[in-house]
């Protein structure tokens, strides 16, 4: 797995955990750690959003090479 893929996956998981906390407990972890819409929390939200968009490319990739590609 490429480094960018791993970083994107980590950010997507962080975003999913944050949304789960918001949905189940009305607790925004990012806002509680970095402030409600502070500059840093906005950067975190933006990076998670970009990582989510990048993760769409995972659907179009072949993970295992075909016999004809070897």
Which alpha helices (DSSP H) does the chain contain, by range?
Answer: 3-25, 29-34, 39-55
pLDDT at 63: 72
Q: Are 9 and 55 in contact (CB under 8 A)?
A: yes
| pLDDT of 69 over the 70 cut | no
Residue 42: per-residue pLDDT: 96
What mean pLDDT do residues 55-62 have?
89
**Both tokens assigned to 26:** 């009305």
Predicted pLDDT at 5: 94
Closest by Cα among 4, 8, 5, 14 to 63: 5
Interval 33-60 mean pLDDT: 94
Here the tokens at position 47 are 């990076």
Residue 70 pLDDT: 55
Res. 41: pLDDT tops 70:
yes
Give which of 7, 31, 9, 8 is closest to 19, Cα–Cα. Answer: 31
């Amino acid at each position: 797995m490429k480094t960018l893929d791993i970083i994107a996956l980590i950010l997507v998981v962080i975003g999913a955990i944050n949304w789960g906390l918001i949905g189940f407990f009305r607790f925004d972890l990012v806002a509680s750690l970095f402030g409600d819409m502070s500059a840093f929390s906005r950067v975190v939200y933006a990076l998670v959003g970009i990582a989510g968009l990048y993760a769409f490319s995972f659907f179009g990739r072949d993970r295992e090479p075909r016999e004809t590609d070897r």
